[in-house]
Amino acid sequence: MDLICNSYANDSDDEPEPVTNERLTSKIAAAPSIPSKRPYPVPEERQYKPPRRPYPPHGSYSESQTSSSFSIPVPVPVPGRYVSKRERSLLASLSTIPTPDQSSDLSQKPYSSPTVLGSISDSDVPRHVLSSVRHRPKGSSLQTEMPSRMSISLTGHTKAVTAIDWSTSHVHLLASAGLDGAVYVWNVWSNDKKKVRAFLHHNAPVKDVKWSKQGLSLLSCGYDCTSRLFDVERGVETQSFKEDEVVGVVKFHPDNCNVFLSGGSKGSLRLWDIRANKFVHEYVRDLGPILDVEFIAGGKRFISSSDVSGRNISENAVIVWDISREVPLSNQVYVEAYTCPCIKRHPQDPVFIAQSHGNYTAIFSTNPPFKLNKYKRFEGHWVAGFPIKCNFSPDGETLASGSSDGSVYMYDYKSTALIKKLKAYEQPCVDVSYHPVLPNVVAACSWNGQVSVFE
């Protein structure tokens, strides 16, 4: 009983472990032992006292488990020897420290952001594209040519793609947004990875995406009640603009890249200043969900399209607003009982068009009183309740529209005659966008999640 009490009473790290002569002689050949400390040093040892080691003597460590890159020695438990609390805590802490091989692997492994998937360089862009960009006179555009085939297919979205947009400053980059909550940037002519950026910051479906005309900034909005600004070069989100409703559409101001307009599901229209991170103007009217917006008159006015089908009225379907005064200039532009999911301004003429759910595209004047052209309209494609969009070519000579039958329809702007029809998808073709430099290049997206480029 006395032996048991003595063995369990010695819990201090400062007191030595009792070692008998029989036990010492039996273990001396197996492993080195820890020398016990004298309770009282002799007078000669008081003159020089070596510094106390923070851990047990060298004999308790294994040379094979230490390295020059690590100064912390690893203790090896000796069979039959008592392990103190200090040694137990040291062994527990060292179990979480990587070995020299592991640490070197971690230091050599490059850090990669989940947003950055590839290079946005234009090194793989065809020469005719680069030469067209570099040698094109300012303000001019090439003559429109009809694309004949699908040349590039871009896959990555798992649900419907709601919007696509070409970059005007980096013409080899195409952005897309989808109901899967993803915003992708594609290096269209890259020989390596074509999906070069993946912005997954939205936690709900994304409705719209737009490039800034200056630099590599990208703006998106969606069902998570936010508009988000991304730096494409660094692959990071720079700002988030929160609202109290679903944001269905965003549009940069044509002359000021620090200002953009947003339209919400409760009918609110807000003009945001990116530098102040807040909206500076709000346009209030009893409207339904905003479907699209477009600037006219050099950015002094804008047009909004809203869903008024549930109210059975048509006077607020298309409204022209004055930006500075925050008042509507006309609310009886389009009086037919159809909603218009897309509004586009002509590049040169004082004209804008409205894609109608009546399966046609109407033409309006951008000058007061914003009259409808009753003698011309673009017909032949189908909208059928889908958010089908359309777009003018850079020179304004042709109009391309998606269709619920999965085709791309191309019309002559002056005669409104159908020039070409391209069968692209089995499901609805939602959006069509002309390349900003090459009029014979058109991008389109589908309700099945596919993005395609036609040449």
- Identify the bridge partners of residue 185 per DSSP, sorted by sequence position: 175, 197
Lowest mean pLDDT among 135-139, 242-246, 310-314, 447-451: 135-139
Task: Say if residues 166 and 160 touch (Cβ distance below 8 Å).
Answer: no
Average pLDDT over residues 301-312: 81
CA distance 194 to 196: 6
Per-residue pLDDT tens over the stretch 133-160: 665 555 445 556 788 889 999 999 999 9
Task: Say if residues 274 and 267 touch (Cβ distance below 8 Å).
Answer: no
CA distance 87 to 355: 77
The percentage of residues in the chain with a pLDDT greater than 70, rounded to a whole number, is: 71
What pTM does this model have? 0.74
* DSSP string for 237-260: EEEEEE-SS-EEEEEE-SS-TTEE
Average pLDDT over residues 385-401: 94
Residue with tokens 């917006």: 293
Cα torsion at 249, 213, 188, 161 (round to 10°)?
0
**pLDDT level of residue 318 (50, 70, 90 thresholds):** very high
> Which one-letter amino acid corresponds to residue 11?
D
CA distance 425 to 31: 77
Instruction: Give pLDDT, residue 82.
Output: 66
Instruction: Give pLDDT, residue 32.
Output: 47
Residue with tokens 């359309």: 390
The percentage of residues in the chain with a pLDDT greater than 90, rounded to a whole number, is: 58
- Residue among 356, 441, 338 at smallest CA distance from 398: 441
Per-residue pLDDT tens over the stretch 331-363: 889 988 889 999 999 999 999 999 999 999 999
Instruction: Give pLDDT, residue 175.
Output: 98
Report how far apart, in Å, the C-alpha atoms of 369 and of each of 96, 327, 331, 373 are: 75, 15, 10, 12
> What are the structure tokens assigned to 20, written together?
């008998």
> What are the structure tokens assigned to 230, written together?
């991304």
**pLDDT level of residue 439 (50, 70, 90 thresholds):** confident
pLDDT greater than 80 at residue 62:
no
For 111, counting Cβ atoms within 10 Å of its Cβ (0-12 exposed, 13-18 middle, 19+ buried), the class is exposed
Average pLDDT over residues 88-97: 59
Average pLDDT over residues 42-69: 45
Contacts of 373 (CB under 8 A, 6+ apart): 362, 363, 364, 365
DSSP for residue 116: B
Q: Which of residues 221 and 123 earns the better pLDDT score?
A: 221
Instruction: Give pLDDT, residue 56.
Output: 46
Q: Is 347 helix (H, G, I), strand (E, B) or coil?
A: coil
